[in-house]
Structure 1
Amino acid sequence: MACATATLRTDGATEDVRALARWLRDGDGLRGRVSLADGQAAPGGAGQDGAAQDAALVVLTSATAPALVRWLFDWLKHCRTARQVSLTVRGADGREVELTCGSTTDAARVLASTRAVLAGR
């Protein structure tokens, strides 16, 4: 079964990433697959204040990708501070897709893009 790594960053405070990681850890299908990567620089460099941003990391398979998308969009509906999450999915073959997920983003499109990376397409 193909694996991928999903890196998630929020447009809010560092605590938002930590809250997202906790939310995902509690989600059915994701337990044991979520970690927090402190101090990783955001794509393109450090955050606006010059500090590195935190990221939530999720190990994905084709079986767990739907759970990630479901729990991510549920969190966005309930979060009062973050409006968007940057999702980067990197397959074992190095293929990568970067998506911006918001509360009104099409979850089906995000899931399809994630599955394409997992399938090596």
Structure 2
Amino acid sequence: MSEQFACNVSDLKPGTLVQSYLTAADGSEVAVAVARSDDGEFYAINDICSHGEVSLAEGEIIGCEVECWAHGARFDLRTGEATELPAIDPVDAYPVHIDGERVLVDVDNPITSGIKENA
């Protein structure tokens, strides 16, 4: 699979997030938080906080980051990088394509992977 429909552009006002479930090529379901920043840019990251295992789509957008509602961890919407404790592990960030009114996300080709590699 490649790009999949995640939501409509009109579903996301600037500064908001929605949760979407997409199917990866291996058949697994991937929970995705689709975000529209205050400046109108669209982003998609794995919806599950790497610290508290709760939905990031329920969090708040602050600049180009999403703040987890449970413990205040923050993640960069562009890269998935954990930017605020208590989270230290990143989450996957996915490519987003706007096709008219449709927001498409590719969960099979992450921009960055949330898997930390040992140095």
TM-score higher than 0.5 = no
Higher relative CO (Cα under 8 Å, sequence separation at least 6) belongs to 1
What is the TM-score normalised by the length of structure 1? 0.34
The structure in which a higher percent of residues are strand is 2
Larger % of helix: which? 1
TM-score, normalised by the number of residues in structure 2: 0.35
